[in-house]
A and B are shown apart, each in its own frame.
Chain A
Amino acid sequence: DSGVTQTPKHLITATGQRVTLRCSPRSGDLSVYWYQQSLDQGLQFLIQYYNGEERAKGNILERFSAQQFPDLHSELNLSSLELGDSALYFCASSTILASYNEQFFGPGTRLTVL
């Protein structure tokens, strides 16, 4: 158990819909990262927050957005969903800002868009 929690574990929805994925980092971790993993692929970095502020953006679509709240939990919002958005979405956290620091990953949310 990494200490990072993600909800829900599974999500099934239809094209065009909007969903929200939630992540609670390890206690004391200020940095949160979101990743997307499509079937049998490596992870694609989406976005990073540090202490409530966006710090880095990766390959995140304009239909996707995220935020980190004062209690440090983070939400990833996916809208106008398409079939290709079906994937595993992972959240990770780390203690400090620097990316060479170890990242702790949650169990992921499996999103299925029908």
Chain B
Amino acid sequence: DAKTTQPNSMESNEEEPVHLPCNHSTISGTDYIHWYRQLPSQGPEYVIHGLTSNVNNRMASLAIAEDRKSSTLILHRATLRDAAVYYCILRATMDSNYQLIWGAGTKLIIKP
């Protein structure tokens, strides 16, 4: 399975945009890019996913590089509630072995 690389931690100020990078240089053509986040003492929660085109939803935006070897999760206006560990995960679309391979993620710290 293709793996992802993320910075261990990032800091941002409240009410400013946050760009969380993810490298996935061995991504295959059928791998979706997923982002989940895990708030302290909670289970992970889905944020967004995409394949080739940039994606937007109420929580965030996902910018995918043209060669798909990297992507960036964008939180447009971070709040204290966005402090969490953010996981970038790849998963093949038609793979019968349905595993999400989780890395260590990026711990996002929001400063008031």
Chain A residues within 8 Å of B, Cβ to Cβ: 2, 4, 33, 35, 41-45, 48, 55-56, 58, 90, 92, 97-100, 102-108
In this complex, how many residues of chain B approach chain A with their Cβ under 8 Å: the count is 23
Which of B44, B45, B98 has the most chain A CB atoms closer than 10 A to its own CB?
A: B98
| A-chain residues with CB within 8 Å of residue B99 when the two chains form the complex | 45, 56, 58, 99
B44 — nearest CB in chain A belongs to which residue? A105
Q: Are B43 and A108 in contact (CB under 8 A)?
A: yes
| A-chain residues with CB within 8 Å of residue B103 when the two chains form the complex | 42
Known contacts A42-B103, A42-B105, A56-B97; A100/B44 CB under 8 A: no
13 A-B pairs with C-beta separation under 8 A: A33-B98, A42-B102, A42-B105, A43-B87, A45-B101, A90-B43, A90-B44, A92-B44, A99-B91, A99-B98, A99-B99, A103-B44, A103-B46
Q: Are A56 and B43 in contact (CB under 8 A)?
A: no
Closest 9 CB pairs of A and B: A105-B43, A42-B102, A99-B98, A43-B102, A56-B98, A102-B46, A100-B32, A45-B99, A105-B44
Chain B residues within 8 Å of A, Cβ to Cβ: 32, 34, 36, 42-46, 49, 87, 91, 93, 95-105
| B-chain residues with CB within 8 Å of residue A92 when the two chains form the complex | 43-44
> Chain A's interface: helix, strand, loop or mixed, by majority?
loop
| A-chain residues with CB within 8 Å of residue B91 when the two chains form the complex | 99-100
Question: How far apart sit A48 and B104, CA to CA, in the bound complex (Å)?
Answer: 21
| A-chain residues with CB within 8 Å of residue B45 when the two chains form the complex | 2, 105
Closest Cβ of chain A to B60, distance in Å, is 14
- The one of B44, B93, B98 that contacts A48, using a Cβ cutoff of 8 Å: B98
